[in-house]
Amino acid sequence: MAKGGSATLFILVASVTGCLASTVTECTPRDYGRGSVVCVCNSTLCDFLGPVSPEQPGVVAVYESNKAGLRFHKSILSVTNSTGLPVSDTNTITLTINNSQTYQKIIGFGGAFTDAAGINIKSLPTRMQDDLLRSYYAPEGLSYNVGRIPMASTDFSTRLYNDPGDFNLTSFSLAQEDLSLKIPFIHKAVSLAKEEVYLFASPWSGPAWMKTNGALYGMGKLRGNPGGKYYKTWAKYFVRFLEEYGKHDIHLWCLTTENEPTNGEIPHFPFQCMAFTPETMRDFVKLDLGPALLANGYGNVKVMILDDERYDMIRWAQTIFQDANASSYISGIGVHWYGDFAGPQILDKTHETFPTKFILGTEACEGFQAFVKEKVSLGNWDRAETYAADIIQDHSHWVTGWVDWNLALNPEGGPNWAKNFLDSPIIVNGTSQEFYKQPMYYSLAHFTKFLRRGSLRIEADVDAHIDDKVAFVTFETPEKSKVAIVLNRDFIPYTLLIRDGTKSFQKSITERSIQTFVWL
């Protein structure tokens, strides 16, 4: 179901290796009058969710966050070894797990190491910097295992950094922002993570001298045509970025070909962008980028196309993947959430037509709509629900993971040189030396803590009479553990009855809540 639709209750069922251990620190809540609370971290306290460890057979661990203020609160249910639990009333939702039909595997979840994120993290004392990154990448945090790295500047930079005209890129070097605001925090995140962190990089714009408009923003594209000297130099730019990050022991899993390439076709677009059509991207990949990566020893680095909204992804996929040469260099498709008013059937059709290409959610954030005046909304529960609903919808339609935008922003939603301020799951108040975990952070936790890399989507069935209020998806890991994640956006509670073979259990799903059920 698309964002803003009529559905009010969503269910996600997935398989994981276990649930949270008892080493948990509690939220210190603060109410800013936005409907719910943030959890405050400072130099003396910070809440952590606890690491993942297996549950005992015969019991179900339940984690709940809600508008009323619960944050990842744990309780225990007993499993009934029969299918005999009755349906108690018309507000009971019965979910039956079907392990025989399988779909896509999970790649992972993460966020972006932008300049703005680095500036905000660096504004904190060292211990709090560590606590913030632990909150995302450590087993006691969100257990993130993906990270996005901008190539050069974005709107979430404090300046437009550029390179001088040089077709050989002999003067190419990393910016000071790479060295002080990205690389140190990437290293820290990787060291904290329990499993390999898949890092991918995305460019917003080529240097101004390469572009038709002579600027990093506004309507413009690379000069010339694919196969020509400007496109060859731009392909070399990717190689040089990989080489320089490699010198700092950061080795990328993947590249996207261009962040939101349609932006560069918009007159007066207000921040960094560069236009590609599906046709020019196809030819750039097969004539320039793919051969350059292969020739320089980076043939193992995956490539994603699009990195833009879903509404045009079928045309992009068809244009590029129907060319066997171009397709041979590309592993997947990156999609942003801003155009998710377009139905998820687009995801289904794209996968059905090109089943060997993975689909990964590569950017999402709240506060992006032009009509939204309050870009950062501290304690806003609606935004937690929107995150959860989008993740559920995506993963019901072949998406293999979900990458948030900035890891941290300030209370204004920046810094952002273009004043394109936005919200983030963690907001840093450098003046008071605090940071705040938003409801969005805990919404993410209900997925990232349990949908481990390699989880395989399977089928499940739900009562037909409540289809207008329920959406669901199921996963299974090799360890055969299961997890059901339930989002109730309604203002009334429901009873959830889950049947998995001969196992059954049920619990009340409170209004305006997210609940995660974990069992073996």
Q: Which residues are catalytic?
A: 260, 363
* Rounded Cα gap, residues 502 and 79, in angstroms: 10
Shortest CA distance to 52 belongs to which of 14, 15, 18?
18
* Rounded Cα gap, residues 499 and 497, in angstroms: 7
- CB distance 258 to 307 below 8 Å: yes
Amino acid at 105: K
Write a three-state SS string for 463-497. CHHHHHHCCCCEEECCCCCEEEEEEECCCCCEEEE
DSSP string, 292-351: HHHHTT-TTSEEEEEEEEGGGHHHHHHHHHTSHHHHTT--EEEEESTTTTS-THHHHHHH
Shortest CA distance to 477 belongs to which of 16, 13, 12?
16
Cα 371 off chain centre by: 24
CA atoms within 13 A on the CB side of 98: 11
Place of tokens 């404090």: 158
* Rounded Cα gap, residues 280 and 226, in angstroms: 7
Residue 366, token pair as written in the block? 């709240």
Cβ-based neighbours of 86, under 8 Å, separated by 6 or more: none
Specify the 3-state DSSP secondary structure of 176. helix
Residue 260, token pair as written in the block? 């939101």
Amino acid at 394: D
* Rounded Cα gap, residues 520 and 518, in angstroms: 7
DSSP string, 325-340: HHHTT--EEEEESTTT
> What's the Cα-to-Cα distance from 185 to each of 112, 133, 182, 190, 250, rounded to whole Å?
11, 8, 6, 9, 11
Cα 363 off chain centre by: 6
- Within 10 A of 42 (CB to CB), how many other CB atoms are there? 16
Amino acid at 479: E
* Rounded Cα gap, residues 261 and 274, in angstroms: 6
- CB distance 422 to 167 below 8 Å: no
* Rounded Cα gap, residues 390 and 106, in angstroms: 16
Residue 214, token pair as written in the block? 């002579």
DSSP string, 502-516: TEEEEEEE-TTEEEE
